[in-house]
A and B are shown apart, each in its own frame.
Chain A
Amino acid sequence: MIEVEHVSKTYKVARRDAGFVNALRALWHRRVEEIRALDDISFTISDGEMVGYIGPNGAGKSSTIKVLSGVLTPDAGKCVVNGKVPWKERVEYVRHIGVVFGQRSGLWWDVPIIDSFELLKEIYKIPDTTYKDSLDELVTLLDLGKIVKTPARQLSLGQRMRCEIAAALLHRPELLFLDEPTIGLDAVSKLAVRDFVRRINVEHKTTVILTTHDMQDIEALTKRILLIGHGKILRDCSFEELKAEAEGVSGGSIDEIVAALYAKYHI
């Protein structure tokens, strides 16, 4: 159960204009601009739900994920996940979550995948039997049998993403954050990843929060969608509702629907 109430977060960013004179001027003083990354965000997600979190770049998606994974402390608001405040009891909390950052690797670059897994076993203090079970399961479901002995740097992007997801699930988290898990993947790998995410959601009742720009991911996986823009939650509804809402504007592809929505909300 995830409960987020009135969470806000503001960043300060230094600005500088182009040109030589301005560069010199910036030596003496800097213009600081405030950016409201999260502006009074509230939502609730029940156990076992699979939620798509969408919005354009810079809308506040990753800030939300950071707050929920305990990396970032918000300025104001309440957030309770499975009875814990993420940023308060970090070590105890993160034992129960798994995070996949699609654009950065959490695997050890130069050693075989299986060694990375062994290290994670140690980090999460996974008991031997649990580790063996979940490793067997993940290897079968994600078809990793042939690649676990290969160093990460020699894998293709699709193979590596499958390993990343396995790495995030070894400790059987109750909650899984997927930050753009299908970015840059080919069609076959995308389908494999989607299929797998759906399965663990059903079989293990893992709650999944998915951020992505790939609307097919959203359509294939999630029933519920949170649309965020300028740090605010703009819509919290099902994919069909969202689709219906944009119906008049365009009848084309899903991407066009989303673009129309972004236009509608001026984001």
Chain B
Amino acid sequence: MYLAFFKMKFLTGLQYRAAAAAGMATQFVWGIFGILLYKAFYETNASAFPMDFQALASYIWLQQAFLSLYFVWIFEEDIFQTITSGGVVYELCRPMDLYTMWFSRSVANRVSQAVLRCLPVLLFASILKRPYGIGLPVSIHAAFWFFISFFLALFTVVAFTMLIYISAFYTIQTNGIRTLAGGLVEFLSGATIPLPFLPDGVRTVVELLPLASMQNVPFRVYGGDLSGNEMYAKIALQLFWIIVMVMLGKWLTSRALRRVVVQGG
């Protein structure tokens, strides 16, 4: 059932071939600028650089390649529409859990967009001269855990966006909340600058937040910046936040739906 959803999304995604090509070109340029910027800092003062340069380059390219997986600004207008227009009543007639359905739909949407785009970006990044391109994962061990936390991070992002969708049950205009959340996540998830570049005090606090369980973890595992016990702890934290946010989301949904049903939409 969820597979069917996934397939449909994927096919619609495929239709936009030019969009995909343009998106990739954009990602190349952003990636290159990112690298050039950090290179300038690295050349000015290498000793103050908190990460291995290769690890940073990998971080940036992964960020570009998987942008649509972790970018919080991607919302599905349909879902907001369904909620605000009261059309959610029809969704309730379908034989499946609403939260699960929207959750898998969002995952499918993000994955289908990423699948098309990531390969060319990764390919391009891998032919760049070292250390400016993307390196291989530092070890098979790292690759394995990268893989695990990669998906956990995706689920964290989706669980977070679900909370924003659900907020539409409680307020008509969601633009405000969306922008607000986007702004926060941008910085606190390590999208603006990788979290290791933050001053230590700020960093300790930020890394505990659910937002740091997004791209921050897998991308740093990949480059070897995060390893050993610290890595295990971070992955456990990812799991913890997913569970918390999903439970919260489900609870809020059922609460909101009870209201909808009672009031008759």
Contacts and interface: CB of A to CB of B under 8 A. Distances in A.
Question: Do A and B interact directly, with beta carbons closer than 8 Å?
Answer: yes
Interface of A: 16, 20, 23-24, 26-27
Interface residues of B, number: 5
A115 B7 CA distance: 47
Nearest to B17: A27
A151 to B, nearest CB: 13
A243 to B, nearest CB: 40
Contacts of A16: 15
Nearest to A19: B11
Interface centre among A20, A23, A24 (most CB of B within 10 A): A23
9 contacts: A16-B15, A20-B7, A23-B11, A23-B14, A23-B15, A26-B14, A26-B15, A26-B17, A27-B14
B203 to A, nearest CB: 43
A250 B184 CA distance: 67
Contacts of B11: 20, 23
B254 to A, nearest CB: 29
Given A24-B14, A26-B17, 10 more contacts: A16-B15, A20-B7, A20-B11, A23-B11, A23-B14, A23-B15, A26-B14, A26-B15, A27-B14, A27-B17
Contacts, number: 12
Contacts of B15: 16, 23, 26
Contacts of A24: 14
A24 B15 CA distance: 8
B85 to A, nearest CB: 12
Nearest to A28: B17
A181 to B, nearest CB: 24
A256 B15 CA distance: 40
A266 to B, nearest CB: 32
Contacts of A27: 14, 17
Interface in B1-30: 7, 11, 14-15, 17
Nearest to B18: A27
Nearest to B20: A27
Contacts of B17: 26-27
Nearest to B12: A23
9 A-B pairs with the lowest CB-CB distances in the bound complex, closest first: A23-B14, A27-B17, A23-B11, A20-B11, A27-B14, A23-B15, A26-B15, A16-B15, A24-B14
Contacts of A20: 7, 11
B170 to A, nearest CB: 19
A16 B16 CA distance: 12
A15 to B, nearest CB: 12
Contacts of A26: 14-15, 17
A23 B14 CA distance: 7
A9 B11 CA distance: 32
Contacts of B7: 20
